[in-house]
Amino acid sequence: METNNKKDFKKFSQGYTFKILMLVALVLLLLIPLSMITGLIYERNRTADDAEAEIMEAWGSQLMEAGPIITIPGVRTEQIRTKTERDGRTEEKIEEIKYPFTLVIMPRNLTIKADFTTEIRRRGIFSVPLFSGSLSLSGAFDPAEARSSLASNEALSFEKAELIIALSSQKGIRKIEKALWNDQEMFFQPGNRGHALFRKGSSGIYAAIPAFSGAQSTFDINIAIQGGQLVRFLPVGQDTHVAIATDWASPSFQGSFLPGASIITDSGFDAVWDISYLSRDIPLFWRSGDDSHEYTSSMFGVNFFRAIDTYALNTRAVKYAILFLIIPFLTLFLLEVFTKKRIHPVPYLLAGIANIIFYLLLLSLSEQMQFYLAYLLAALGVTVMMTLYSRALLPSWNKSWYMGLVITISYVLLYAVLNAESYALLIGSIGAFLVVALVMYITRKLEWYGPDE
């Protein structure tokens, strides 16, 4: 009885079912170093983000702008009457209490023009897209409606009115090239007077408005500015027109509003937005204290998108890694079956490690050169190594060259998936279906318990 059990176990251990279970165990084991590579990609991506942040901090940060807006301090006067009885007479005392407030007014129309040139700044192997150029703000204010909302006991101090431009950071300002209010010059100072509009803790600039009487007025401001990565604007005008022109060839339009018209060429892009106040939830005027008035969700603009994001592509590649572990294992298993030469589990393990090293090579090489070239070198190296190793394991080239063919097709398919983001799931699922169908067809008559003795 014991002899029969040993024979049955020996037959099972030498059968194909045992080999398949062993391959499954190897795949699960190789998920450990694969998860370590995933963590390495994340760590390198974070290092790149830190390097970009350091460059941005020295250059001027991202450009987020809101305004200009007018702020006018005012006072509401209320009378409090008190009556007292003294010597049989009633005395009435009137006391005036003043409550200060600030009236904030948006422009009637606002035109923003941004004309930037871009460059890539590097720190070590990491880089970030930066821009510099002119930011032009022009338009008109009509405070009539805001003034008509005042009560009879409210008064404004027009001589203390200020024009405020909120910015994510004023560090990117090179200089104010022009600042005119009704053709009179204004002088800006740092700070946004607590009117961030889109984010607490942001900065800005402000200027006293010359000879302001509360009548309709025009403004024309031109700022030499620099920044990086993205540009965002807040459509504060009753009618807001924004035009952005740069030499960056791969923009990514973001935010609550997409451009009404855009032209993108290899030499840059031009984009135009026309936004009415009816399409966003920003009042034309309000009093300080009415609300927090942070309208980050209404901002729009463009990201200076890099067409090839190395770490994003590496992350996507690793997501398909388990499939590209299984395929070489199945290929080597089928070659073992049809050449009738038994292969020890160690070569399977080495083949799996070789395919994992591909992702490590891809990450390290893609940090030093263009992604397509890094992918080509990593894939070519692993394909040649696997083909030669298969030849060493198998008796001739008649079957071993199939390993090179399968690995080549696999990497070509993976590259197609990485570069076709919209169709990645479709390509990957069809590829997986074809692989399973092919294996099922080839092994349809295979005796999984091994040949009978």
Sign of CA dihedral 292, 296, 298, 299: positive
Contact 63, 227 (CB under 8 A): yes
Give the integer Cα–Cα distance in Å for 328 and 335.
10
**Confidence at 377, pLDDT banded by 50, 70, 90:** very high
Residue 12 confidence (pLDDT) above 50:
no
Among candidate residues 441, 438, 442, 389, the one with its CA nearest the CA of residue 409: 438
Phi/psi-derived region of residue 380, left when phi > 0, alpha when psi is between -120 and 50, beta in every other case: alpha
253-298 per-position pLDDT tens digit: 998 999 999 999 988 999 999 999 888 888 899 887 655 567 888 8
Residue 245: pLDDT over 90: yes
Q: Which two tokens stand for residue 413?
A: 């398919």
Grade residue 445 by pLDDT with cuts at 50, 70 and 90: low
Tens digits of per-residue pLDDT, 139-155?
999 999 998 888 888 88
Distance CA 403, CA 383 (A): 8
Of 333 and 444, the one with more pLDDT: 333
Task: Please report the pLDDT score of residue 308 as a whole number.
Answer: 61
Give me 388's structure tokens.
């030669």
Q: Report if pTM > 0.85.
A: no
- Measured CA to CA, the distance from residue 182 to residue 214 in angstroms comes to 12
CATH number 1.20.120 is the correct assignment for the domain at 66-303: no
- Cα distance between residue 408 and residue 17, in whole Å: 28
Per-residue pLDDT band for 443 (boundaries 50, 70, 90) equals low
Confidence of residue 386 (pLDDT cuts 50, 70, 90): confident
| Residues 108-167 pLDDT 10s | 999 999 999 998 887 777 778 889 999 999 999 999 999 888 888 888 999 999 999 999
Does 14 score more than 80 pLDDT?
no
CA dist., res. 315 & res. 322, Å (int): 13
Per domain, the residue ranges of the chain are 2-49+311-442, 66-303
252 pLDDT exceeds 50? yes
Asked if pLDDT for residue 424 goes beyond 50, the answer is yes
